A and B are shown apart, each in its own frame.
Chain A
Amino acid sequence: MMEPMHMQYEVEGGNFSKAGFASSEIKKVLKQLNVDARIIKRIVVSSYEAEVNIVAHAYSGKVKALIDNEKIELLYMDDGPGIPDIEKAMQAGFSTASSEVREMGFGAGMGLPNIKNNADKLEISSEVGKGTQVRILIKLTPEIG
């Protein structure tokens, strides 16, 4: 088995003009890897949502992507307020976003539910006052059958 490919990006909290940069770079790589277009779409939806979460809620964060023959693993680690109730945050429509953020088209409360729907595996751990870690796993080849 080959060593997975690493990609890493810094994400700045509050900088919406840069939101989606890491996600876009990951997409470009997946296109070159000839990954099925429907799978790329699921990865892009998940990675964009997770990245915007850091921009919208945290002070700063990191995105790591690990790609091998079979899967992509996306890790999002931020310094931020943390999520007090992860179960609640996973509910569709639940949002803590201010009206200003909502006006920009973000904060509809679909972020985490959207990731869950598109990922093969989603793990979230969080500590209030410290930060949140999100781990997303998506297989790169369509399931047979």
Chain B
Amino acid sequence: MSNNEFHHALNFCKDTCIGCSHCMKVCPTQAIRVRGGKADLMPNRCIDCGECYRVCPVEAIKVEQDDFDLIFNYKYRVALVPGVLLGQLAEEINPRQIYSVLMEMGFTHVCEVETGAEILRNSMADYIRQHPETRPLISAFCPAIVRLIQVKFPSLVNHIIPMKPPLDVAGLYYKELLIRRGAVADEIGLFYITPCAAKIAAVKSPVGEEKSIINGVINMDFAYNKVLTTVKQSKAHSCILPEDPNLTPEAILWSLTTGESSVMPGRSLAIDGINNVIEFLEELENEEVSDIDFLELRSCDESCAGGILTSANRFFTAERLRNRAKISALDADRKEERHSIHAFSEVLNEKLRIENIKPRSMLKLDENIGGALAKMKKVNELMEILPYVDCGICGSPTCQSLAEDVVRKEADISRCIFIQRILEQKGTFTRQESIEIMKEIWGEKKLDKDLK
């Protein structure tokens, strides 16, 4: 890692936030608290899955993106387009039109991200065969899952296949291609049109390598709107087809659920949805799961078709991509080795590997066991008096997390309204103190209302 701070693509806008705590309740890593009437993110716990973004009622959570004009710093401007962008648009809008809009926006080349899967498919399968000592092996495809394992399942990090995702492979491929045609490396800008925040975080602070080769990210909702507007107004003219778009059906399906598991050797399983993944990883860690060779784990329901920056219905997106794969399968001319990326397989295979992924547990109460044990005893004592209601009024998502926050000296136990009532009965706590605490957590405004 080049820096210690974890880069997050999700930014909480304090001015817009109404302190409703919806985000706090859905966060799968308990990374959010409410303080002063605003959501507050704990950066080392956040995995950029974007569950908070989905539930925010006021759009206070923003997904950062690079300034679009950044692309013009480069002579060769490559748009790396994931299949789910095409899948979101109705069949009447064909890839030709979509690519031509991207060219009009200023890109000089378009490459489908799943091109990288043509190479990865074999390399991952080889890795699985060459490492029979570790089972199951887990795909590094979904960056939110990689981060989830790092913070919540540190014992499983060595199960992750240390290989770059299709995006990076496609980027490396296209860069090589342009260099062979005479371009200078510095003149090439690779820009990713992303369906999710986790991919942005993965580009800005990659796990297992110093720096990503991707030069910038553009959010998919932005590209989606641009394409639809241009097509609806019939303004697309250039109609330039990208070179060699002949992806195999397997590559087309890669970013959907079962995209990887269906082509890996041995017994494979695909699980989507962050909470389903967490449930399964608990069982895996409990030694209750055996005889599985490969796990495909995706944070979003319906995988990338359900990315937080997608706009269309995820089930239709997946259906369209499956139809596209069927058409591709029917084309008899389309041989697996036909794609020009295979001419680069040697170069690409050398660059596929990333460093082994390191754990960074968010669960530990202390570095040393003695200290952690003392803290855990305090947590357990606090749990004896807390109500197990998990109401969130204290500004922490659960009673357990409040107890842990208290032991970490980040909160006081009197934030719990049940504890407040108990103290009041004993005469050691006043109504005014209670009001002050509520204002500290939820802000002045929520307690300053005119009741008629």
Chain A residues close to B by CB (< 8 Å) = 2, 5, 20, 23-24, 27, 29, 31-35, 37-38, 40-41, 44-45, 48, 67-70, 105, 140-141
Given known A-B contacts A20-B288, A24-B286, A44-B287, A37 and B372 have beta carbons under 8 A apart: no
On whether the beta carbons of B285 and A44 are closer than 8 Å, the reply is yes
Complex CA–CA separation, A35 to B367 (angstroms): 9
Complex CA–CA separation, A2 to B371 (angstroms): 11
B2 in contact (CB, < 8 A): no
Complex CA–CA separation, A11 to B282 (angstroms): 20
On whether the beta carbons of B286 and A31 are closer than 8 Å, the reply is no
Interface string of B140-177 (1 = CB under 8 A from A): 00000000000000110000000000000000000000
On whether the beta carbons of A141 and B369 are closer than 8 Å, the reply is yes
B57 to chain A, nearest CB (A): 33
On whether the beta carbons of B373 and A33 are closer than 8 Å, the reply is yes
On whether the beta carbons of A37 and B376 are closer than 8 Å, the reply is no
Interface string of B400-419 (1 = CB under 8 A from A): 00000000000000000000
A31: nearest chain-B partner, CB-CB: B363
Contacts of A70 in B (CB 8 A): 369
On whether the beta carbons of B155 and A67 are closer than 8 Å, the reply is no
On whether the beta carbons of B365 and A33 are closer than 8 Å, the reply is yes
Complex CA–CA separation, A141 to B372 (angstroms): 14
On whether the beta carbons of A140 and B365 are closer than 8 Å, the reply is no
On whether the beta carbons of A34 and B282 are closer than 8 Å, the reply is no
Query: Can you list 29 A-B contacts (CB < 8 A)?
Result: A2-B373, A5-B373, A5-B380, A20-B286, A23-B286, A23-B287, A24-B286, A27-B285, A29-B376, A31-B154, A31-B363, A31-B364, A32-B363, A32-B365, A32-B372, A33-B365, A33-B369, A33-B376, A34-B361, A34-B364, A34-B367, A34-B372, A40-B155, A41-B287, A44-B286, A69-B369, A70-B369, A105-B290, A140-B369
On whether the beta carbons of B286 and A69 are closer than 8 Å, the reply is no
**Which 8 pairs, one residue from A and one from B, show the smallest C-beta to C-beta distance?**
A37-B155, A34-B364, A33-B372, A69-B370, A31-B363, A24-B286, A48-B287, A32-B365
Q: How large is the interface on B (under 10, 10 to 19, 20 to 34, 35 or more residues)?
A: 20 to 34
Contacts of B367 in A (CB 8 A): 34
B106 in contact (CB, < 8 A): no
Partner of A41, one of B155, B290, B369, B373: B155
Contacts of B208 in A (CB 8 A): none
B435 in contact (CB, < 8 A): no
The B286-302 residues at the A interface (CB cut-off 8 A) are 286-288, 290
Contacts of A41 in B (CB 8 A): 155, 287
B44 to chain A, nearest CB (A): 15
Partner of B369, one of A20, A24, A34, A38: A34
B36 in contact (CB, < 8 A): no
Complex CA–CA separation, A105 to B376 (angstroms): 35
B374 in contact (CB, < 8 A): yes
Complex CA–CA separation, A61 to B263 (angstroms): 45
